[in-house]
């Protein structure tokens, strides 16, 4: 029996996971080292994803997607992530861009953008800016009515799949005086006159992904708006609630890969006349990693199940993202330590995983922001209990 806890997958979840396993073995994992070394976006993998239904996995079937639930999606993200962290991040960024359209798009927007996405033509989520990431209400890009449309001006930054995606859901201030209640979202085509991508980030890890800026000085038509006018910050947060569960799945893929690297090295590397795993200092480290991965994975699958059941996942999603990403950090750290000097040098997989994991605690809300979300929820619950509004649990 495997040491790390495994979800009991059946039906569509098992089928998608099996498909992801085959594609990862054949296509994604063999590219992982090269993508990192060359900092190259794997266009060929996007084609494979599109041909096999992974690009639009989470998109409903009526729009050309795979119709997978979140519980059916996360085993795929994990499995791809075991083979290649960059490819699992790309897969997640594709689903993240789909979300605002899925949640708040008009029928014609869903048909067009989700249909494109299912074919592998990406839409990216463009909320962050150079001047602000965590404090999304403080974005500075603006949208001002001009003629029959909207003049969008500003620069969106750190866009996942940026440059590689054709379309962007750009969040801008349409009522700057109203702060977070004055933000709207618009669909932007990177081919639009006045839209430029002129900077690609040179990253520590997930170097096969492309992260870019998007400079805007364009006129978007009125019908490019997604969702309610001035209410897009809520839409961004709803999107991130799901995105965080996907990042938790990325984290688990990476953590399992790190654990396997560490365990296989611990039984094959000998020191003082015996395999290093014969030392409790090493065996206990692996025992802790295996326990943490199992606990984190249970939380991840429960968060996805809660989402599919229509429950509010703001808290459990924050917990899953926080815990799974920090477990991935500790698993990758243990792998480097167990690989010793080799773990510190390229081209050791443990070294790459150590760099790849770092962003999991940063994007889609840093660990501090997850703790902030949870801290506020705890405060509210305790205050409500104190005032007799609800019973403490």
Ligand X SMILES: Cc1cc2nc3c(=O)[nH]c(=O)nc-3n(C[C@H](O)[C@H](O)[C@H](O)COP(=O)(O)OP(=O)(O)OC[C@H]3O[C@@H](n4cnc5c(N)ncnc54)[C@H](O)[C@@H]3O)c2cc1C
Helix, coil or strand: residue 163:
coil
For ligand X, the closer CB: 293 or 332: 332
User: Cα(83)–Cα(28) distance, rounded to whole angstroms?
Assistant: 6
165, 116 contact by CB (below 8 A): no
Count of residues for the chain?
A: 393
CB-wise, 277 or 318, nearer to ligand X? 318
Residue pair 201/164 in contact (Cβ under 8 Å)? The answer is no
**Structure tokens belonging to residue 238:** 């709803």
Q: Is the dihedral of CA 69, 70, 71, 74 positive or negative?
A: positive
Say which of 364, 368, 381, 383 is annotated catalytic: 364
Residue closer to ligand X by CB (options 314, 362) is 362
Tell which residue, 257, 324, 270, has the closest CA to residue 297: 324
Say if residues 100 and 185 touch (Cβ distance below 8 Å): yes
Minimum Å gap between C-beta 101 and ligand X is 15
Q: Active-site residue 107, yes or no?
A: no
Q: Which two tokens stand for residue 212?
A: 């870019």
Cβ 88 to ligand X shortest distance, Å: 13
CB of 158 to ligand X, least distance (A): 4
Which residues would be at the binding site for ligand X (CB under 6 A)?
93, 124-128, 132-134, 158-160, 203, 211, 359, 362-366, 368-369, 372
With CB atoms as reference, the residue minimizing the distance to ligand X is: 133
- Is the CB of 162 or the CB of 343 nearer to ligand X? 162
Do 151 and 140 touch, CB atoms closer than 8 A?
no
Q: How far is the CB of 172 from ligand X (least distance, A)?
A: 12
| CA–CA–CA angle 199, 205, 207 (5° rounding) | 55
Residue 50 CB: number of other CB atoms within 10 A?
Answer: 17
**SS3 state of residue 232:** helix
Over its C-alpha atoms, the chain yields an Rg (Å, rounded) of 21
**Minimal distance in Å, beta carbon 135 to ligand X?**
6
For residues 156 and 128, give the distance between their C-alpha atoms in angstroms, rounded to a whole number. 6
* CB of residue 265 to ligand X, shortest distance in Å: 28
Smaller CB distance to ligand X: residue 347 or 375? 375
**CB nearer ligand X, residue 111 or residue 215:** 215
- CB-nearer residue toward ligand X: 101 or 289: 101
DSSP 49-71: HHHTT-TTTTS-GGGTS----HH
Shortest Cβ 81–ligand X spacing (Å): 15
- Copy the structure tokens of residue 119: 């074919």
28 vs 30: CA distance, rounded Å: 6
Instruction: Cite the active site residues.
Output: 364
């Amino acid at each position: 029996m495997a040491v790390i806890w495994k979800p009991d997958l059946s039906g569509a979840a098992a089928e998608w996971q099996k498909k992801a396993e085959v594609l990862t073995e054949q296509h994604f994992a063999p590219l992982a080292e090269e993508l990192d070394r060359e900092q190259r976006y794997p266009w060929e993998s996007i084609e494979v994803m599109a041909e096999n239904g992974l690009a639009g996995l989470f998109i409903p079937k009526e729009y050309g997607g795979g119709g997978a639930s979140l519980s059916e999606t996360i085993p795929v993200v994990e499995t791809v992530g075991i083979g290649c962290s960059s490819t699992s991040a790309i897969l997640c960024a594709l689903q993240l861009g789909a979300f605002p359209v899925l949640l708040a798009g008009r029928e014609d927007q869903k048909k067009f953008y989700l249909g494109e996405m299912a074919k592998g033509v990406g839409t990216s989520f463009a909320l962050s800016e150079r001047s602000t990431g965590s404090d999304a209400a403080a974005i500075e890009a603006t949208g001002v009515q001009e003629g029959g449309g909207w003049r969008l001006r500003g620069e969106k930054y750190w866009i996942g799949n940026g440059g590689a995606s054709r379309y962007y859901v750009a969040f801008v201030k349409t009522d700057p005086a109203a702060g977070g209640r004055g933000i709207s979202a618009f669909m932007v085509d990177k081919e639009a006159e006045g839209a430029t991508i002129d900077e690609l980030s040179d990253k520590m890890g997930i170097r096969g992904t492309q992260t870019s800026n998007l400079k805007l000085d364009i006129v978007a038509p009125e019908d490019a708006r997604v969702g309610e006018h001035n209410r897009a910050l809520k839409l961004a947060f709803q999107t991130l609630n799901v995105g965080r569960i996907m990042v938790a799945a990325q984290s688990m893929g990476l953590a399992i890969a790190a654990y396997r690297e560490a365990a296989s090295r611990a039984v094959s590397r000998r020191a003082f006349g015996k395999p290093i795993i014969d030392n409790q200092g090493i065996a206990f480290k692996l025992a802790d990693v295996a326990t943490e991965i199992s606990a984190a994975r249970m939380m991840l699958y429960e968060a996805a199940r809660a989402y599919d059941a229509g429950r509010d996942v703001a808290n459990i999603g924050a917990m899953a993202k926080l815990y799974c990403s920090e477990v991935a950090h500790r698993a990758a750290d243990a792998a480097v330590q167990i690989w010793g000097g080799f773990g510190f040098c390229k081209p050791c997989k443990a070294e790459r995983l150590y760099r790849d994991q770092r962003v999991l605690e940063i994007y889609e809300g840093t660990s501090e922001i997850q703790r902030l979300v949870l801290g506020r929820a705890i405060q509210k619950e305790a205050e409500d209990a104190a005032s007799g509004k609800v019973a403490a649990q």
